[in-house]
Protein backbone atom coordinates (compact mmCIF):
# COMPACT_ATOMS: atom_id res chain seq x y z
CA UNK A 1 0.00 0.00 0.00
CA UNK A 2 0.94 3.66 -0.28
CA UNK A 3 1.36 5.31 3.14
CA UNK A 4 0.23 8.84 3.94
CA UNK A 5 3.40 10.22 2.36
CA UNK A 6 2.68 8.28 -0.82
CA UNK A 7 5.48 5.77 -0.24
CA UNK A 8 4.90 2.25 -1.47
CA UNK A 9 5.33 0.05 1.62
CA UNK A 10 3.93 -3.47 1.84
CA UNK A 11 1.95 -4.62 4.89
CA UNK A 12 4.39 -7.46 5.47
CA UNK A 13 8.10 -7.56 4.69
CA UNK A 14 9.91 -10.88 4.52
CA UNK A 15 12.63 -10.98 7.16
CA UNK A 16 11.13 -7.99 8.97
CA UNK A 17 7.56 -8.95 9.66
CA UNK A 18 4.28 -7.15 9.88
CA UNK A 19 4.49 -3.46 9.10
CA UNK A 20 2.93 -0.76 11.19
CA UNK A 21 2.54 2.06 8.70
CA UNK A 22 3.61 5.62 9.37
CA UNK A 23 0.52 7.70 10.07
CA UNK A 24 1.97 11.04 11.12
CA UNK A 25 4.87 12.33 13.19
CA UNK A 26 2.84 12.55 16.40
CA UNK A 27 0.15 9.97 15.71
CA UNK A 28 1.71 7.16 17.73
CA UNK A 29 2.32 8.64 21.18
CA UNK A 30 0.21 7.72 24.22
CA UNK A 31 1.02 4.91 26.65
CA UNK A 32 2.34 1.37 26.40
CA UNK A 33 4.26 -1.10 28.57
CA UNK A 34 7.95 -1.54 28.00
CA UNK A 35 9.52 -4.98 27.88
CA UNK A 36 10.87 -6.43 31.10
CA UNK A 37 14.64 -6.61 31.19
CA UNK A 38 16.35 -9.73 32.49
CA UNK A 39 17.22 -9.60 36.18
CA UNK A 40 20.29 -11.75 36.67
CA UNK A 41 21.99 -12.35 39.99
CA UNK A 42 25.67 -12.46 40.78
CA UNK A 43 26.46 -14.09 44.09
CA UNK A 44 29.07 -12.39 46.28
CA UNK A 45 32.54 -13.30 45.08
CA UNK A 46 31.45 -14.27 41.57
CA UNK A 47 34.18 -12.95 39.25
CA UNK A 48 33.50 -11.13 35.99
CA UNK A 49 36.93 -10.71 34.44
CA UNK A 50 37.38 -13.30 31.70
CA UNK A 51 40.65 -14.03 29.91
CA UNK A 52 39.45 -13.58 26.33
CA UNK A 53 36.66 -12.38 24.13
CA UNK A 54 36.07 -15.97 23.10
CA UNK A 55 35.51 -17.04 26.69
CA UNK A 56 33.23 -14.11 27.34
CA UNK A 57 31.17 -15.05 24.28
CA UNK A 58 31.07 -18.69 25.36
CA UNK A 59 29.93 -17.73 28.84
CA UNK A 60 27.23 -15.48 27.40
CA UNK A 61 25.36 -18.43 25.91
CA UNK A 62 25.17 -16.74 22.49
CA UNK A 63 23.56 -18.93 19.83
CA UNK A 64 23.13 -18.79 16.06
CA UNK A 65 20.44 -16.35 15.02
CA UNK A 66 20.71 -14.20 18.12
CA UNK A 67 21.22 -10.44 18.28
CA UNK A 68 24.51 -8.83 19.26
CA UNK A 69 24.74 -5.08 19.84
CA UNK A 70 27.37 -2.34 19.69
CA UNK A 71 27.58 1.41 20.19
CA UNK A 72 29.49 3.75 17.91
CA UNK A 73 31.23 6.28 20.13
CA UNK A 74 34.64 5.23 18.82
CA UNK A 75 33.22 6.13 15.40
CA UNK A 76 35.64 5.58 12.54
CA UNK A 77 38.36 4.57 15.01
CA UNK A 78 36.43 1.63 16.49
CA UNK A 79 38.15 -1.75 16.83
CA UNK A 80 35.50 -3.57 18.85
CA UNK A 81 32.94 -4.39 16.16
CA UNK A 82 35.55 -6.00 13.93
CA UNK A 83 37.31 -7.77 16.78
CA UNK A 84 34.07 -9.27 18.07
CA UNK A 85 32.56 -10.19 14.70
CA UNK A 86 35.83 -11.76 13.58
CA UNK A 87 35.81 -13.84 16.76
CA UNK A 88 32.17 -14.77 16.22
CA UNK A 89 33.03 -15.88 12.69
CA UNK A 90 35.99 -17.95 13.93
CA UNK A 91 33.73 -19.55 16.51
CA UNK A 92 31.40 -20.58 13.71
CA UNK A 93 28.33 -18.49 14.52
CA UNK A 94 25.75 -18.07 11.76
CA UNK A 95 22.72 -15.94 11.07
CA UNK A 96 23.42 -13.26 13.67
CA UNK A 97 21.62 -9.96 13.86
CA UNK A 98 24.08 -7.09 14.29
CA UNK A 99 22.39 -4.20 16.11
CA UNK A 100 24.90 -1.37 16.03
CA UNK A 101 24.02 2.23 16.80
CA UNK A 102 26.43 3.22 14.04
CA UNK A 103 28.57 1.63 11.32
CA UNK A 104 31.58 3.38 9.82
CA UNK A 105 34.01 2.93 6.98
CA UNK A 106 36.41 1.18 9.37
CA UNK A 107 33.87 -1.64 9.62
CA UNK A 108 34.47 -2.78 6.04
CA UNK A 109 35.37 -6.31 7.21
CA UNK A 110 31.70 -6.76 8.10
CA UNK A 111 31.01 -7.13 4.39
CA UNK A 112 32.75 -10.50 4.46
CA UNK A 113 30.61 -11.57 7.39
CA UNK A 114 27.44 -10.59 5.52
CA UNK A 115 28.53 -12.52 2.49
CA UNK A 116 29.46 -15.61 4.49
CA UNK A 117 26.19 -15.60 6.44
CA UNK A 118 27.74 -14.97 9.87
CA UNK A 119 25.56 -11.85 9.91
CA UNK A 120 22.17 -12.05 8.28
CA UNK A 121 20.57 -8.86 9.57
CA UNK A 122 21.70 -5.37 10.56
CA UNK A 123 19.93 -2.70 12.59
CA UNK A 124 21.64 0.65 12.61
CA UNK A 125 20.87 4.30 13.16
CA UNK A 126 23.87 6.03 11.72
CA UNK A 127 26.16 5.14 8.85
CA UNK A 128 29.27 6.60 7.49
CA UNK A 129 28.98 6.22 3.74
CA UNK A 130 31.00 3.19 3.05
CA UNK A 131 31.31 -0.42 2.12
CA UNK A 132 28.73 -1.87 4.52
CA UNK A 133 25.99 0.52 3.42
CA UNK A 134 26.85 -0.19 -0.20
CA UNK A 135 26.82 -3.96 0.41
CA UNK A 136 23.34 -3.68 1.92
CA UNK A 137 22.17 -1.75 -1.15
CA UNK A 138 23.60 -4.49 -3.34
CA UNK A 139 21.49 -7.07 -1.49
CA UNK A 140 24.28 -8.79 0.43
CA UNK A 141 22.20 -9.13 3.61
CA UNK A 142 19.80 -12.04 3.88
CA UNK A 143 17.22 -9.95 5.73
CA UNK A 144 16.51 -6.28 5.15
CA UNK A 145 18.48 -3.83 7.25
CA UNK A 146 16.43 -1.86 9.75
CA UNK A 147 17.34 1.82 9.68
CA UNK A 148 16.30 3.67 12.81
CA UNK A 149 16.89 7.06 14.40
CA UNK A 150 18.93 7.74 17.54
CA UNK A 151 15.73 8.06 19.55
CA UNK A 152 14.05 5.19 17.76
CA UNK A 153 16.75 2.69 18.68
CA UNK A 154 16.35 2.91 22.49
CA UNK A 155 12.57 3.00 21.95
CA UNK A 156 12.83 -0.26 20.01
CA UNK A 157 15.05 -1.80 22.69
CA UNK A 158 12.82 -0.66 25.56
CA UNK A 159 9.68 -1.86 23.79
CA UNK A 160 11.20 -5.28 23.18
CA UNK A 161 10.99 -4.89 19.38
CA UNK A 162 14.79 -4.95 19.29
CA UNK A 163 15.70 -7.63 21.79
CA UNK A 164 19.46 -7.71 22.37
CA UNK A 165 20.86 -11.05 23.45
CA UNK A 166 24.44 -9.97 24.00
CA UNK A 167 25.65 -6.36 24.14
CA UNK A 168 29.32 -5.58 23.65
CA UNK A 169 30.28 -2.28 25.21
CA UNK A 170 33.51 -0.61 24.14
CA UNK A 171 34.67 0.61 27.55
CA UNK A 172 37.45 3.22 27.56
CA UNK A 173 37.73 2.91 31.35
CA UNK A 174 36.50 -0.10 33.31
CA UNK A 175 37.17 -1.99 36.51
CA UNK A 176 37.04 -5.76 36.96
CA UNK A 177 33.47 -5.58 38.30
CA UNK A 178 32.17 -3.76 35.23
CA UNK A 179 31.89 -0.12 36.26
CA UNK A 180 32.40 1.72 32.98
CA UNK A 181 32.97 5.23 31.77
CA UNK A 182 33.80 6.61 28.34
CA UNK A 183 35.47 9.84 29.38
CA UNK A 184 38.71 8.42 30.78
CA UNK A 185 41.40 6.00 29.65
CA UNK A 186 43.77 5.95 26.69
CA UNK A 187 40.85 5.46 24.26
CA UNK A 188 38.49 7.95 25.89
CA UNK A 189 35.64 8.71 23.49
CA UNK A 190 33.25 10.74 25.65
CA UNK A 191 29.89 9.67 27.04
CA UNK A 192 28.51 6.26 26.05
CA UNK A 193 24.89 7.39 25.73
CA UNK A 194 23.90 5.09 22.87
CA UNK A 195 24.98 2.08 24.93
CA UNK A 196 22.79 2.83 27.95
CA UNK A 197 19.71 1.09 26.56
CA UNK A 198 21.82 -1.94 25.64
CA UNK A 199 23.25 -2.11 29.16
CA UNK A 200 19.79 -1.85 30.68
CA UNK A 201 17.99 -4.32 28.41
CA UNK A 202 20.41 -6.86 26.94
CA UNK A 203 20.27 -10.38 28.35
CA UNK A 204 24.07 -10.33 28.64
CA UNK A 205 26.40 -7.36 28.78
CA UNK A 206 30.10 -7.74 28.03
CA UNK A 207 32.45 -4.82 28.68
CA UNK A 208 35.45 -4.77 26.33
CA UNK A 209 38.15 -2.51 27.69
CA UNK A 210 41.73 -1.49 27.02
CA UNK A 211 42.03 0.37 30.29
CA UNK A 212 41.34 -1.79 33.31
CA UNK A 213 41.58 0.46 36.37
CA UNK A 214 41.65 -0.35 40.09
CA UNK A 215 38.23 -0.73 41.65
CA UNK A 216 36.16 1.37 41.71
CA UNK A 217 36.33 3.08 38.35
CA UNK A 218 35.28 6.70 38.74
CA UNK A 219 33.00 8.14 37.54
CA UNK A 220 30.57 5.28 37.02
CA UNK A 221 28.67 5.88 33.80
CA UNK A 222 27.36 2.32 33.37
CA UNK A 223 27.26 0.45 36.67
CA UNK A 224 28.41 -2.99 37.72
CA UNK A 225 24.81 -3.95 38.45
CA UNK A 226 24.28 -4.14 34.66
CA UNK A 227 27.46 -5.83 33.45
CA UNK A 228 27.94 -9.61 33.26
CA UNK A 229 31.56 -9.86 32.26
CA UNK A 230 34.67 -7.87 31.48
CA UNK A 231 37.36 -8.60 28.91
CA UNK A 232 40.64 -6.77 28.55
CA UNK A 233 42.01 -6.25 25.03
CA UNK A 234 44.98 -4.33 23.63
CA UNK A 235 42.97 -1.60 21.98
CA UNK A 236 39.28 -0.80 21.64
CA UNK A 237 40.03 1.81 19.03
CA UNK A 238 41.91 4.84 17.88
CA UNK A 239 40.48 8.09 19.27
CA UNK A 240 41.91 9.90 16.25
CA UNK A 241 39.18 8.16 14.24
CA UNK A 242 36.48 9.84 16.30
CA UNK A 243 37.01 13.15 14.56
CA UNK A 244 35.38 13.24 11.19
CA UNK A 245 36.77 15.44 8.44
CA UNK A 246 33.96 17.96 8.66
CA UNK A 247 34.48 19.67 11.99
CA UNK A 248 35.69 23.03 10.70
CA UNK A 249 33.56 26.06 10.00
CA UNK A 250 32.80 26.51 6.33
CA UNK A 251 34.92 29.03 4.51
CA UNK A 252 33.20 28.80 1.16
CA UNK A 253 31.27 32.06 0.57
CA UNK A 254 28.14 30.27 -0.62
CA UNK A 255 28.00 28.12 2.50
CA UNK A 256 28.60 31.20 4.64
CA UNK A 257 25.73 32.96 2.89
CA UNK A 258 23.45 30.01 3.64
CA UNK A 259 24.60 30.00 7.25
CA UNK A 260 23.95 33.74 7.64
CA UNK A 261 20.46 33.32 6.21
CA UNK A 262 19.65 30.41 8.50
CA UNK A 263 20.75 32.38 11.55
CA UNK A 264 18.81 35.43 10.42
CA UNK A 265 15.74 33.24 9.93
CA UNK A 266 16.05 31.90 13.49
CA UNK A 267 16.42 35.42 14.78
CA UNK A 268 13.54 36.91 12.80
CA UNK A 269 11.36 34.02 13.98
CA UNK A 270 12.05 35.07 17.58
CA UNK A 271 14.24 32.17 18.69
CA UNK A 272 17.37 34.18 19.40
CA UNK A 273 16.48 35.12 22.93
CA UNK A 274 17.45 34.61 26.56
CA UNK A 275 17.34 30.90 27.41
CA UNK A 276 17.53 29.81 23.78
CA UNK A 277 18.76 26.41 22.71
CA UNK A 278 19.98 24.99 19.47
CA UNK A 279 21.72 22.04 17.90
CA UNK A 280 23.86 21.75 14.82
CA UNK A 281 25.85 18.92 13.37
CA UNK A 282 29.60 19.17 12.98
CA UNK A 283 29.55 19.92 9.26
CA UNK A 284 31.04 23.14 7.95
CA UNK A 285 27.79 24.95 7.16
CA UNK A 286 26.17 23.81 10.42
CA UNK A 287 29.12 25.11 12.40
CA UNK A 288 28.93 28.36 10.45
CA UNK A 289 25.30 28.74 11.59
CA UNK A 290 26.46 28.15 15.18
CA UNK A 291 29.08 30.86 14.68
CA UNK A 292 26.43 33.28 13.38
CA UNK A 293 24.11 32.56 16.30
CA UNK A 294 27.00 32.94 18.72
CA UNK A 295 27.62 36.38 17.18
CA UNK A 296 24.03 37.45 17.84
CA UNK A 297 24.22 36.16 21.41
CA UNK A 298 27.47 37.94 22.20
CA UNK A 299 26.26 41.21 20.67
CA UNK A 300 23.01 41.20 22.62
CA UNK A 301 24.30 39.67 25.85
CA UNK A 302 22.05 36.65 25.48
CA UNK A 303 22.69 33.56 27.55
CA UNK A 304 21.33 30.35 26.10
CA UNK A 305 19.96 27.36 27.98
CA UNK A 306 21.76 24.56 26.18
CA UNK A 307 23.38 23.12 23.13
CA UNK A 308 22.85 19.46 22.46
CA UNK A 309 23.54 16.46 20.31
CA UNK A 310 26.82 15.28 19.08
CA UNK A 311 29.06 17.79 20.84
CA UNK A 312 31.91 19.55 19.07
CA UNK A 313 34.62 22.01 20.05
CA UNK A 314 32.49 24.96 19.01
CA UNK A 315 29.82 24.14 21.59
CA UNK A 316 32.50 23.46 24.19
CA UNK A 317 33.80 26.97 23.65
CA UNK A 318 30.30 28.45 23.87
CA UNK A 319 29.78 26.66 27.19
CA UNK A 320 33.08 28.05 28.48
CA UNK A 321 32.08 31.54 27.32
CA UNK A 322 28.87 31.27 29.31
CA UNK A 323 26.70 31.35 26.17
CA UNK A 324 25.06 28.10 27.25
CA UNK A 325 24.18 27.07 30.79
CA UNK A 326 24.80 23.44 29.88
CA UNK A 327 25.50 20.96 27.10
CA UNK A 328 23.55 17.72 26.66
CA UNK A 329 25.75 15.11 25.04
CA UNK A 330 24.95 11.83 23.31
CA UNK A 331 28.34 11.55 21.63
CA UNK A 332 31.54 13.50 21.28
CA UNK A 333 32.53 14.56 17.78
CA UNK A 334 36.08 15.61 18.63
CA UNK A 335 38.78 15.51 21.26
CA UNK A 336 37.90 18.90 22.73
CA UNK A 337 34.43 17.58 23.45
CA UNK A 338 35.86 14.45 25.08
CA UNK A 339 38.08 16.52 27.36
CA UNK A 340 35.17 18.77 28.27
CA UNK A 341 32.91 15.81 29.11
CA UNK A 342 35.60 14.52 31.45
CA UNK A 343 36.05 17.74 33.36
CA UNK A 344 33.11 20.14 33.05
CA UNK A 345 30.06 19.17 35.14
CA UNK A 346 27.89 21.40 32.94
CA UNK A 347 28.76 19.21 29.97
CA UNK A 348 26.23 16.51 30.78
CA UNK A 349 25.52 13.07 29.40
CA UNK A 350 22.02 12.11 28.40
CA UNK A 351 20.81 8.69 27.35
CA UNK A 352 19.79 8.29 23.74
CA UNK A 353 16.30 7.70 25.11
CA UNK A 354 16.31 11.01 26.96
CA UNK A 355 17.66 12.59 23.77
CA UNK A 356 15.15 11.50 21.22
CA UNK A 357 12.84 8.66 22.25
CA UNK A 358 9.27 9.84 21.60
CA UNK A 359 7.91 7.26 24.02
CA UNK A 360 9.27 9.02 27.10
CA UNK A 361 7.81 11.74 29.27
CA UNK A 362 9.62 14.43 27.36
CA UNK A 363 12.80 13.87 25.40
CA UNK A 364 15.33 16.64 25.07
CA UNK A 365 14.66 17.34 21.41
CA UNK A 366 11.27 18.65 22.55
CA UNK A 367 13.14 21.43 24.37
CA UNK A 368 15.12 22.50 21.31
CA UNK A 369 14.36 25.88 19.85
CA UNK A 370 16.37 25.67 16.66
CA UNK A 371 17.68 22.63 14.84
CA UNK A 372 20.00 22.95 11.88
CA UNK A 373 19.99 19.89 9.62
CA UNK A 374 21.32 18.83 6.26
CA UNK A 375 19.65 16.89 3.47
CA UNK A 376 20.68 14.64 0.63
CA UNK A 377 17.31 15.45 -0.95
CA UNK A 378 14.20 17.36 0.06
CA UNK A 379 10.91 17.22 -1.77
CA UNK A 380 8.34 19.91 -2.35
CA UNK A 381 6.38 18.63 0.67
CA UNK A 382 9.53 19.16 2.76
CA UNK A 383 10.10 15.43 3.25
CA UNK A 384 13.83 14.91 3.68
CA UNK A 385 16.08 12.06 2.61
CA UNK A 386 19.43 11.50 4.30
CA UNK A 387 19.45 7.75 3.70
CA UNK A 388 20.01 7.19 -0.01
CA UNK A 389 21.93 9.06 -2.65
CA UNK A 390 20.38 9.98 -5.95
CA UNK A 391 21.86 6.76 -7.30
CA UNK A 392 19.72 4.86 -4.80
CA UNK A 393 22.68 3.56 -2.79
CA UNK A 394 22.48 3.80 0.99
CA UNK A 395 24.54 6.71 2.29
CA UNK A 396 23.44 7.01 5.87
CA UNK A 397 20.65 6.53 8.35
CA UNK A 398 18.57 9.05 10.22
CA UNK A 399 20.88 9.52 13.19
CA UNK A 400 19.18 12.29 15.12
CA UNK A 401 17.65 13.84 11.99
CA UNK A 402 14.02 12.84 12.37
CA UNK A 403 14.14 13.07 16.18
CA UNK A 404 15.38 16.64 16.25
CA UNK A 405 13.14 17.74 13.41
CA UNK A 406 10.12 16.45 15.30
CA UNK A 407 11.09 18.06 18.59
CA UNK A 408 12.54 21.44 17.68
CA UNK A 409 10.38 24.54 17.47
CA UNK A 410 12.20 25.58 14.31
CA UNK A 411 13.77 22.98 12.04
CA UNK A 412 15.89 24.44 9.27
CA UNK A 413 17.41 22.43 6.46
CA UNK A 414 20.55 24.14 5.18
CA UNK A 415 21.81 23.07 1.79
CA UNK A 416 23.31 24.25 -1.41
CA UNK A 417 20.58 24.07 -4.01
CA UNK A 418 22.91 22.07 -6.19
CA UNK A 419 24.72 19.14 -4.63
CA UNK A 420 26.99 16.96 -6.68
CA UNK A 421 25.63 18.58 -9.84
CA UNK A 422 22.05 17.70 -8.88
CA UNK A 423 19.22 19.79 -7.54
CA UNK A 424 18.62 18.97 -3.85
CA UNK A 425 14.91 19.75 -4.19
CA UNK A 426 12.93 16.95 -5.80
CA UNK A 427 9.39 16.33 -6.68
CA UNK A 428 9.72 13.19 -4.62
CA UNK A 429 12.72 12.10 -2.58
CA UNK A 430 14.30 8.70 -3.14
CA UNK A 431 13.70 7.71 0.49
CA UNK A 432 11.85 9.57 3.23
CA UNK A 433 13.86 9.85 6.43
CA UNK A 434 12.11 12.81 8.02
CA UNK A 435 8.50 13.72 7.27
CA UNK A 436 7.83 17.20 5.90
CA UNK A 437 5.38 18.03 8.66
CA UNK A 438 8.39 18.30 11.02
CA UNK A 439 10.51 20.48 8.73
CA UNK A 440 9.93 24.21 8.79
CA UNK A 441 12.30 25.77 6.30
CA UNK A 442 14.84 25.14 3.59
CA UNK A 443 17.64 27.66 3.34
CA UNK A 444 19.69 27.72 0.14
CA UNK A 445 21.86 30.19 -1.70
CA UNK A 446 18.97 30.72 -4.11
CA UNK A 447 16.36 31.52 -1.52
CA UNK A 448 14.58 30.50 1.65
CA UNK A 449 11.49 28.30 1.42
CA UNK A 450 9.06 27.99 4.31
CA UNK A 451 6.81 25.04 4.93
CA UNK A 452 3.28 26.35 4.23
CA UNK A 453 2.22 24.79 7.56
CA UNK A 454 4.15 27.56 9.28
CA UNK A 455 1.97 30.55 8.43
CA UNK A 456 3.20 32.06 11.70
CA UNK A 457 6.75 32.04 10.39
CA UNK A 458 5.79 33.66 7.11
CA UNK A 459 4.26 36.46 9.17
CA UNK A 460 7.29 36.80 11.45
CA UNK A 461 9.72 36.97 8.55
CA UNK A 462 8.08 39.91 6.83
CA UNK A 463 10.63 42.66 6.71
CA UNK A 464 13.53 40.34 7.59
CA UNK A 465 15.11 40.97 4.23
CA UNK A 466 15.42 37.23 3.64
CA UNK A 467 14.90 36.20 0.00
CA UNK A 468 11.78 34.09 0.37
CA UNK A 469 10.90 31.56 -2.31
CA UNK A 470 8.39 28.82 -2.86
CA UNK A 471 10.07 25.43 -2.62
CA UNK A 472 8.63 24.57 -6.07
CA UNK A 473 10.35 27.64 -7.42
CA UNK A 474 13.65 26.49 -5.94
CA UNK A 475 13.15 23.13 -7.59
CA UNK A 476 12.52 24.79 -10.93
CA UNK A 477 15.67 26.91 -10.56
CA UNK A 478 17.76 23.93 -9.55
CA UNK A 479 16.42 21.70 -12.28
CA UNK A 480 16.89 24.43 -14.88
CA UNK A 481 20.54 24.63 -13.84
CA UNK A 482 21.27 20.95 -13.36
CA UNK A 483 18.70 19.12 -15.40
CA UNK A 484 16.41 16.37 -14.16
CA UNK A 485 18.32 13.16 -13.64
CA UNK A 486 16.97 9.75 -14.44
CA UNK A 487 15.64 8.23 -11.22
CA UNK A 488 17.72 5.27 -10.04
CA UNK A 489 16.54 1.79 -10.95
CA UNK A 490 15.49 -0.54 -8.20
CA UNK A 491 14.44 -4.14 -8.12
CA UNK A 492 11.38 -5.15 -6.11
CA UNK A 493 13.49 -6.62 -3.35
CA UNK A 494 13.49 -4.62 -0.12
CA UNK A 495 16.99 -4.29 1.38
CA UNK A 496 16.23 -1.68 4.01
CA UNK A 497 13.25 -0.82 6.20
CA UNK A 498 13.18 2.78 7.36
CA UNK A 499 11.55 2.97 10.75
CA UNK A 500 10.35 6.33 11.93
CA UNK A 501 11.31 7.11 15.53
CA UNK A 502 7.98 5.76 16.82
CA UNK A 503 8.54 2.33 15.24
CA UNK A 504 6.22 2.76 12.28
CA UNK A 505 7.66 2.17 8.82
CA UNK A 506 7.97 5.44 6.94
CA UNK A 507 9.67 4.03 3.84
CA UNK A 508 11.66 1.14 2.43
CA UNK A 509 14.89 0.96 0.44
CA UNK A 510 14.94 -1.38 -2.53
CA UNK A 511 17.90 -3.14 -4.04
CA UNK A 512 19.79 -1.15 -6.67
CA UNK A 513 19.97 -2.66 -10.10
Q: At what angle do helices 284-300 and 253-268 cross, to 10 degrees?
A: 50
Smaller CB separation from a copy of itself, 98 or 368: 368
CB of 339 to a copy of itself, least distance (A): 15
CB of 343 to a copy of itself, least distance (A): 9
Smaller CB separation from a copy of itself, 26 or 513: 26
Residue 488, judged by CB atoms within 10 A of its CB (0-12, 13-18, 19+), counts as middle
| Order of strands across the sheet that contains 384-385 | 384-385, 377-379, 425-426
**C-beta separation of 107 from 1 below 8 A:** no
Smaller CB separation from a copy of itself, 165 or 292: 165
Smaller CB separation from a copy of itself, 42 or 482: 42
Q: How many CB atoms lie within 10 A of CB 452?
A: 13
CB of 163 to a copy of itself, least distance (A): 12
CA 249 – CA 263 distance, rounded (Å): 14
CB of 32 to a copy of itself, least distance (A): 5
**C-beta separation of 326 from 319 below 8 A:** yes
CB of 29 to a copy of itself, least distance (A): 3
CB of 287 to a copy of itself, least distance (A): 23
Smaller CB separation from a copy of itself, 2 or 361: 361
Q: How many CB atoms lie within 10 A of CB 436?
A: 22
Which residues are within 8 A (CB) of 413 and not within 5 positions of it... i.e. 6 or more apart?
A: 373, 374, 375, 378, 382, 384, 439, 441, 442, 443
Q: First CA to last CA across the chain, in angstroms?
A: 23
CB of 366 to a copy of itself, least distance (A): 4
Which residues are within 8 A (CB) of 203 and not within 5 positions of it... i.e. 6 or more apart?
A: 38, 40, 163, 164, 165, 166
Smaller CB separation from a copy of itself, 395 or 406: 406
- Reduced to 3 states (helix: H, G, I; strand: E, B; else coil), residue 332 is strand
Which residues make up the interface to a copy of itself (CB under 8 A)? 26, 29-46, 48, 155, 158-160, 177-178, 205, 214-216, 218-220, 223-228, 275, 305-306, 325-326, 328, 345-346, 348, 350-351, 353-354, 357-367, 406-407, 409
CA 422 – CA 425 distance, rounded (Å): 9
Smaller CB separation from a copy of itself, 194 or 446: 194
CB of 506 to a copy of itself, least distance (A): 18
Residue 102 backbone phi and psi in degrees, to 5: -155, 150
CB of 357 to a copy of itself, least distance (A): 7
CB of 275 to a copy of itself, least distance (A): 7
Smaller CB separation from a copy of itself, 87 or 159: 159
Smaller CB separation from a copy of itself, 271 or 490: 271
Smaller CB separation from a copy of itself, 48 or 148: 48
Which residues are within 8 A (CB) of 43 and not within 5 positions of it... i.e. 6 or more apart?
A: none
Smaller CB separation from a copy of itself, 43 or 240: 43
HEC assignment per residue over 246-313: CCCCCCCHHHHHHHHHHHHHHHHCCCCCCCCEEEECCCHHHHHHHHHHHHHHHHHCCCEEEEEEEECH
CA 471 – CA 475 distance, rounded (Å): 6
CB of 268 to a copy of itself, least distance (A): 21
From the list 21, 2, 22, 13, the residue with the least C-alpha distance to 434 is 22
Instruction: Note the residue count of the chain.
Output: 513
CA 310 – CA 223 distance, rounded (Å): 23
Amino acid sequence: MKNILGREVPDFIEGYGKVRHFTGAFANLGERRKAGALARSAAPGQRKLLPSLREAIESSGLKDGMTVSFHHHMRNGDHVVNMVTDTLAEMGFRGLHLAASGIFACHAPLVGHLESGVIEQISVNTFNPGPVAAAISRGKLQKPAILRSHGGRPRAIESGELHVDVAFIAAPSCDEWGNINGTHGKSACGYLSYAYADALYADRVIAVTDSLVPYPNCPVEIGQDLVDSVVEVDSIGDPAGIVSGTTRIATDPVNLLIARRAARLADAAGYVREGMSFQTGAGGTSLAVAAELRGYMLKRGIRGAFGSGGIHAYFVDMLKEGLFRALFDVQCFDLAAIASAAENPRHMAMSASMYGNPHTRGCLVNNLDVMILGAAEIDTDFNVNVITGSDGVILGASGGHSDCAAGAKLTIIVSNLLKGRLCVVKDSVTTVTTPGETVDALVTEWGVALNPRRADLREALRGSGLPMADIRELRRIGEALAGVPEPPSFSERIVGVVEYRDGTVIDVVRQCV
